[in-house]
Amino acid sequence: MNTRSAPDTLRIAIAQLNPIVGDIAGNLVKAREARADAAAQGADLVLFTELFLAGYPPEDLVLKPSFLSACEKAAGDIAADTADGGPGIIIGTPLKRKSGVHNAVIVADNGKIIAERFKIDLPNYGEFDEKRVFQAGPDMPGPVNFRGVRIGIPICEDIWGELGVCETLAESGAEILLVPNGSPYYRRKVDVRQQVVIRQVIETGLPMIYANQLGGQDELIFDGASFAINADKTLSFQMSQFEDSVSVTTWRRGESGWTCTEGPMSKIPESEEADYRACMLGLRDYVNKNGFKNVVLGLSGGIDSAICTALAVDALGEERVRTVMMPYRYTSDDSLKDAKDCARALGCRYDIVPIHEPVEGFSHALAELFEGTAEGVTEENLQSRTRGTILMALSNKFGSMVVTTGNKSEMSVGYATLYGDMNGGFNPIKDLYKMQVYALSRWRNDQVPPGALGPSGEVIPKNIIDKAPSAELRPNQTDQDSLPPYPVLDDILECLVENEMSVEDIVARGHERATVTRIEHLLYIAEYKRRQAAPGVKITRKNFGRDRRYPITNRFRDRG
């Protein structure tokens, strides 16, 4: 029985860490190391993030009984550690109980689990589908008495939805709300989270700590940026974004309740830096967590492959990045020079593999079958597919993961070749529109993001940024031969994809109706390609794959 009197000071550590889904033993080690760190800093309690021991999101892993058993054992092991008299813990784990399998937390102190709490509001939208694998908690949670302090523990979506979890906790005597989260990144998400927390603080009158996971998990990026809002709606501490940390905060009880009096106050980066760092973290974690030693990518002299090379070097280091220029008869001298200059600026390996012979070999093999037909897209795609084959051969031979380089504008309208430039294991710019690629390229030439392993200075040659984009699959080709200018295209696509706007409303923005209906048509008919694309970092509110799930067979068109 806990006989300690209620304290007037509570030191709470927030463990903003990078777990790996399914690595229960490794995540337990991280948790133990974080608790030891927090103990050295004088913490009374360590708050971990949502489903930390399992990694988030575990998806259908929670349907495996052996996985659940391993998670529960790890929870018991770290709970037993608290018998040493050090800090207690709040840590996320799936738990199977009579009421079902729950997204849960345990609270442990003095060597025992003193409470379990289950998530009530299971998200089932966008990238979330928790209702298919978890059961909601059967009862509204009450506060947990931790060393004389009544702590409410809503879990992530419990503070976003309308089920009244926080109000229930306040009404049943909670003094402070500690929220473990697995909240993925999208542009300006930090502001959205803070507004959600402020709303709950206003409604409950209680301060709230928002602890968020860090790291890349397939398409999702968890950016950390944990923070707290005092009962007076002021920001009491702000942890860094895209960086792991165990930060101890000091809370004191006064006449009006608990207030944070000491904690970190990190600056949140602006949009371009945040997007770039999200892409960098996503690529780094995908490569490292999946056991690849290095990566290879085609470096064409264009903007997309250039920024992907910069991201790869920043994420992994120049020694782990190999680039290949694969010229054909339509490759310009500018492209050859620009690709070489880019590789030299970034310090990575650069090889040249001409593709004239294999392309001509394919053309010769198909000549009889193609007799009497005009050359066109088919012959152009032979070039792209030859390049894809070469990159996959290098991948197979040397164990390198192929980085694919198509941007969201291209993927939206199908301007990508299946089994060609779409070949690859991961795409760091998959959710960036073309104009965003340009913006981040300019930003990277002026800045080196924290944690980047690449050099400073101009790493993407100015000529790559300034010249008209082209696939160089035929003489004098530019992208805008068959597409509207990218500022126009990107605005139409953002209206269609992110905002689900009608053709009529998009035309009202000043776009030509024929252009809008054509882009809408291209967007729909390219769905089959996107289903076969490599995963890539989620940057926008609606990426292809997890967020936007349209049928491949689809005859709907908005006739306005």
Q: Give the per-residue pLDDT at 3.
A: 46
Three-state SS at 70: helix
Q: Over 90: is that where the pLDDT of 75 sits?
A: yes
Residues 217, 338 within the same domain: no
Whole-number percent of the chain with pLDDT over 70:
97
pLDDT at 215 over 90: yes
- On whether both 454 and 373 belong to a single domain, the answer is yes
What is the number of domains present in the chain? 2
121 and 264 in one domain?
Answer: yes
Domain endpoint, select from 226, 251, 268 = 268
The pLDDT, as a whole number, for residue 467 is 85
**3-state helix vs strand vs coil in the chain, percent to 5:** 40, 20, 40
For residue 98, the 8-state DSSP code is T
Q: Average pLDDT of 422-433?
A: 96
Active site residue 33: no
Q: What pLDDT is attached to residue 475?
A: 65
Q: pLDDT: is 308 or 329 the higher one?
A: 308
- CATH code: domain of residue 116: 3.60.110.10
397 is catalytic: no
- Across 272-311, b (16+ Cβ under 10 Å) vs e yields bbbbbbbbbbbbbbbbebeebebbbbbbbbbbbbbbbbbb
Do 174 and 62 sit in the same domain of this protein? yes
- Looking only at Cα atoms, what is the longest distance across the chain? 92
pLDDT in tens, 307-328: 999 999 999 999 999 999 999 9
298 and 195 both lie in a single domain: no
Q: Are residues 15 and 155 in the same domain?
A: yes
What is the number of alpha carbons within 13 Å of residue 273 lying toward its C-beta?
Answer: 13
Task: Kindly report, residue by residue over 22-71, the tens digit of the pLDDT.
Answer: 999 999 999 999 999 999 999 999 999 999 999 999 999 999 999 999 99
Are residues 384 and 370 part of one domain?
A: yes
Catalytic-labelled residue, pool 71, 116, 156, 279: 156
Q: Are 318 and 347 in contact (CB under 8 A)?
A: yes
Q: Is residue 463 situated within a structural domain?
A: yes
pLDDT at 550: 87
Q: Is 279 a catalytic residue?
A: no
Residue 327 and residue 192 share a domain: no
Which of 273, 363, 348, 275 lies closest to 316, judged by CA?
348
For residue 1, is pLDDT > 50?
no
The pLDDT-based confidence of 531 (bands split at 50, 70, 90) is very high
Catalytic member of 50, 116, 157, 494: 50
In a domain, 517, yes or no: no
3-state secondary structure 168-185: HHHHCCCCEEEEEECCEC
For residue 392, is it within any domain? yes
Domain boundary among 234, 268, 302: 268
- Cα separation, 213 vs 180, in Å, equals 8
- Does a structural domain hold residue 541? no
Please tell me which residue, 505 or 4, carries the higher pLDDT value. 505
For the chain, the average pLDDT equals 93
Write out the residue range of the structural domain in which residue 168 sits: 10-268
496 in any annotated domain? no
Query: Same domain, yes or no, for 364 and 412?
Result: yes
Is residue 28, in this structure, part of any structural domain at all? Answer: yes
pLDDT of residue 214: 97
- Tell me if 405 is assigned to some domain: yes
Does position 4 have pLDDT exceeding 60, yes or no? no
Q: What is the DSSP string of 288-326?
A: HHTT-S-EEEE--SSHHHHHHHHHHHHHH-GGGEEEEE-
Q: Is the pLDDT of residue 476 over 80?
A: no
Region of residue 55 (phi > 0: left; psi between -120 and 50: alpha; otherwise: beta): left
Instruction: Indicate whether 109 belongs to any domain.
Output: yes
pLDDT at 480 over 80: no
| Statement to judge: residues 260 and 279 lie in one domain | no
Q: Which of 316, 295, 304, 315 is nearest to 342 (CA)?
A: 304
Residue finishing a domain among 268, 296, 327 = 268
pLDDT of residue 5: 67
Question: Residue 17 has which token pair?
Answer: 């860490």
pLDDT band with cut points at 50, 70 and 90 for residue 372: very high
pLDDT exceeds cutoff 70 at 378: yes
Q: How far apart are CA 493 and CA 496, in angstroms?
A: 5
Whether 246 and 373 map to the same domain: the answer is no
The model carries a pTM of 0.93
Whether residue 395 sits in one domain with residue 438: yes
CATH of residue 388's domain is 3.40.50.620
